[in-house]
Copies of this chain bind each other. A is one copy, B any other.
Amino acid sequence: MNTFIPPKRTLMGPGPSDVPARVLEALARPTIGHLDPAFQGLMEEIKTLLKYAFRTENALTFPLSAPGSAGMECAFVNLLEPGDKAIICRNGVFGGRMVENVERAGAIAVVVENDWGEPVDLQMVEDALLDHPDAKLLAFVQAETSTGVMSDAETLCRLARDHDCLTVVDAVTSLGGSPLEVDKWGIDAVYSGSQKCLSCPPGLSPVSFSERALDVIRSRTEKVQSWFLDLSLVMDYWDGEGGRSYHHTAPVNAMYGLHESLLILKEEGLEAAWARHTAMHERLRDGLEEMGIEFLVAPEYRLPQLNTIKVPDHVTDEATLRKRLLEEFNLEIGAGLGALAGKVWRIGLMGHSAREENVELCLRALRRVLN
């Protein structure tokens, strides 16, 4: 066995996205202790930069030391206690995973079901809120990575507040790529991933919790079932006031990378990044439509950063075509998940991958393998 030298890919799947050289360089800087004063300074800067990205003043805004799926679990195990009721919107893989998390926390999931490729239906959610006035929270995926659908997070959050319900928002694929207004929309718990529109390697889950959410956590009658994800413990580590207490050892070098990627986002500006994702999506869409390729999702619900297209009818073996893209063009695009496996491709334009040269490469490569 030898040192692993990865191939140089262009990453246009559902994440990870292309990582800029500045972020890769940051990862390789010398490791320091997780309780070093210099690292604590870095943690404060990361919190400030994440507040910018999430558009929030929430004090509890930080990156969890684990991937986005742990961020999801963190939200549910901290906010729910056994017997609580949660309204979960399921219109793809990740809504389904939310149901799993709720049930494993001993809580009851009321599922609002929509077809894959459709957004969460606002009327159905309102009906569920009316039918279940005892629901503690409403949870939904803003940007469904399995289908490429954007749901209306602003309205969903308003409905939840009107019914005195907490909100849990999956922003794994939206953060940094599409409008997300944690404070303005009144989101109570939100989690994301480092490897999508932030263009960092995978492994960290930025999260943010409102004061309302913290009050609920503080008044729990039972301990959080996960020690690792217990926010009452984790926040003592991430809160600078009164000295940090050791909880776990933070992934120091991964934090260097996240800090650099958030700096890049701040330098570009959040609105400019959103606009760039939309512009690149339009360019890709135009090229795909010229080739006669159809989108799974209606135009008004499409995610710019994740384009789910139907595999053309004449393609009998889509996996072989993806393999050719990888081998001949070093280009990764995503397969369909679950019920959409074999039927769609998912083309990511996330973060640093949302560039003209990527769009052009993807169109050129698809033209080649489809002819």
Binding site for B on A (CB under 8 A): 1-9, 11, 13, 15-16, 18-19, 22, 24-34, 36-39, 42, 45, 48-49, 65-70, 72-73, 97, 100-101, 103-105, 193, 195, 201-203, 223-228, 246-254, 256-257, 259-260, 263, 266, 326, 332, 337
A329 to chain B, nearest CB (A): 14
Q: A28-B27, A249-B67 are in contact. Are A33 and B9 (CB under 8 A)?
A: yes
Other A-B pairs beyond A16-B252, A72-B227, A203-B203, 17, CB < 8 Å: A4-B260, A6-B32, A6-B38, A7-B38, A9-B30, A9-B36, A11-B31, A16-B31, A28-B28, A69-B247, A69-B249, A73-B226, A104-B224, A104-B225, A104-B226, A202-B249, A202-B252
Query: B residues within 8 A CB of A104?
Result: 223-227
A83 to chain B, nearest CB (A): 14
Asked if B33 and A11 make an inter-chain contact with CB atoms under 8 angstroms apart, the answer reads: yes
Asked if B246 and A195 make an inter-chain contact with CB atoms under 8 angstroms apart, the answer reads: no
Most buried by B among A29, A223, A248, A249: A249
Name the prevailing secondary structure of the A interface residues. loop
Query: B residues within 8 A CB of A11?
Result: 31-33
CA distance A257 to B227 in the complex (A): 27
Q: Which residue of B lies closest to A97 (CB)?
A: B227
Query: B residues within 8 A CB of A247?
Result: 69
CA distance A252 to B200 in the complex (A): 10
| Contact among B30, B67, B100, B224 with A19 in the assembled complex (CB-CB below 8 Å) | B30
Asked if A253 and B8 make an inter-chain contact with CB atoms under 8 angstroms apart, the answer reads: no
Most buried by B among A18, A49, A225: A225
A122 to chain B, nearest CB (A): 28
A129 to chain B, nearest CB (A): 25
Q: Which residue of B lies closest to A8 (CB)?
A: B30
Asked if A251 and B254 make an inter-chain contact with CB atoms under 8 angstroms apart, the answer reads: yes
Asked if B248 and A67 make an inter-chain contact with CB atoms under 8 angstroms apart, the answer reads: yes
Asked if B6 and A30 make an inter-chain contact with CB atoms under 8 angstroms apart, the answer reads: yes
A230 to chain B, nearest CB (A): 8
Query: B residues within 8 A CB of A3?
Result: 22, 26, 260, 263
CA distance A193 to B11 in the complex (A): 30
A217 to chain B, nearest CB (A): 15
CA distance A116 to B2 in the complex (A): 42
6 A-B pairs with the lowest CB-CB distances in the bound complex, closest first = A203-B251, A28-B28, A201-B253, A66-B66, A202-B249, A69-B248
Q: A49-B1, A249-B16, A256-B4 are in contact. Are A33 and B228 (CB under 8 A)?
A: no
